[in-house]
Structure 1
């Protein structure tokens, strides 16, 4: 009799367990739970200068969790990794265009984004990189120093000196932009254990 009453008491509970569908997972909560590990992996790749692997990790995460706040963060981190000044290649026009597009998309999310101010600064740096790259690519090189008349005297223009000074100035601006990027990267890097 005792066994029969125990079965009778447990039977409704057992049936109700089978009737309840499993609770659907909230994609945003699932992404938020997995984001710290994905970000850590991407950052470690970036620190090891495996930039393609870092980008691939971030792209894969965003593809798994589209439309989530964590996926939006991948846009910022992809831009940051792509601008790393220790990359073997100088940022091309295409790379800088991609970076500016990603940062614009991130900034469009508004000032509540976790790295909003950083993204604004990086966007300015990417723009400066691009203008310096274009200036270096399009600067005409004088063929010869042409004579000129200054105060009634015939003198040779020191066009090569002017060009060299301009190149030096552009290199200094580029180095300053790279140093700012490096400072931001160090600030955002995970603390070492």
Structure 2
């Protein structure tokens, strides 16, 4: 059984990866692999590609763990930034297959640099708002909170959530809708 997310020390696992500890990467994958797949799948919409992205993300995490700076954000956030960026890169790569001249290449590189800067800014904003989100999520009843987490963290459909919770589909949809309204109000 996996450790509870609140007990898992992502920063220590990344530091251990940076020191060459393969067990740390394995523990990270055991802890977050399914959710990493869910994030990649929501972006690329193809399971086999999402699985490749998770593999590539694990390689990137292993290779770049030393570049993680806890002063700039959480370890878990950094991991998901790696997954998200690889998934977005895959979508971008599949949407264009054209030859570019030097000017277009320079323009694209400048565009990508701006995107990277925006991603970092978004990661900081996300990290700042996560504390408030945790508080708002904790205020929800457990079944409603679980519905939201299954939908938006695990990437489950309403039908899958209903099956997991043993609740009617209409009830699950209502819980999610009402919970999102409550979260929006709490976060405002």
TM-score by length of 1: 0.26
Q: Which has the higher strand share?
A: 1
Structure with the larger RCO, 1 or 2 (CA within 8 Å, 6+ apart):
2
